[in-house]
Amino acid sequence: MAFNLLKGKRGIIFGALDENSIAWKTAQLAHEEGATFVLTNAPVAMRMGQINELAEKTGSEIIPADATNLDDLENLVNKAVEILGGKLDFVLHSIGMSVNVRKGRHYTNQNYSWTEKGWDVSALSFHKVLQTLHKQEAMNEWGSVVALTYMAAQRSFPDYNDMADNKAYLESIARSFGYFFGKENKVRVNTISQSPTPTTAGSGVKGFDGFFNYADKMSPLGNATAQECAEYTITLFSDYTKKVTMQNLFHDGGFSNTGVSQEVMENF
């Protein structure tokens, strides 16, 4: 059921890898809600994913870009504005990667060059995206930029490793850049702190299944799905959330405010 929430709006969606990804579902929904957009991902993800299929379904063009590379981002933003025929109304940053996690290095024994790579991809890239949009004056007034995050930025989860630090940094950028983008261009910047979600990226975290089930039992409404996260993201791109900015918004079925649930206590 479509509500035309994004009728006539233009944007860029980063990070759609396959149909399990939140960015993929957001792209599908944005299309249903009347938006036009370009899709972008790192050249390596292009080869792995099925992004062409998504582009076809949503009538979108794909512009490969390394989100850590300023030349790539400049090209992406210029081309997007040109292809879409005007300034942008929304951008989704759905990018995260930890080499330490991938290669099984414990948090207390990091390879720091891997740490820096993960931080650049997962967090600093958000600043680079915002800075490029800001410098090129590519956003319309009341535009909206959203990045996806996780509660490990506030609380300790043993296996989330250096991604927890990356997410904390990402959320801080949303507040800091959000101030200037709001003041100067009336653009809002927010992060969505999503439930653990069985995406290609999320499932890579050690012990994911056990943790997913625990979070589901801890949350009064249960875990939020990737589809539900896409729905929430669309509301943040719409005109109904014009004064929401610099926020980290928990979309987790109530997990973040639950001390302990009946189900979890019964397990002990």
Q: Tell me which residues are annotated as active site.
A: 150, 160
* Residue 137: half-sphere exposure toward Cβ, Cα within 13 Å: 2
User: Any binding-site annotation on 83?
Assistant: no
Report the C-alpha gap between 229 and 18 in whole angstroms. Answer: 15
- DSSP state letters, 192-219: EEEPP--STTGGGSTTHHHHHHHHHHHS
Nearest to 40 by CA among 76, 81, 79: 76
User: Any binding-site annotation on 167?
Assistant: yes
Nearest to 25 by CA among 258, 226, 265: 226
Report the C-alpha gap between 94 and 103 in whole angstroms. Answer: 21
User: Which residue's structure tokens are 């993201």?
Assistant: 233
User: Any binding-site annotation on 21?
Assistant: yes
Report the C-alpha gap between 206 and 77 in whole angstroms. Answer: 36
E strand residue ranges, the chain: 10-14, 36-40, 61-62, 88-93, 139-149, 188-194, 248-251
Binding residues for NAD(+): 15, 21-22, 95, 167
Binding residues: 15, 21-22, 95, 167
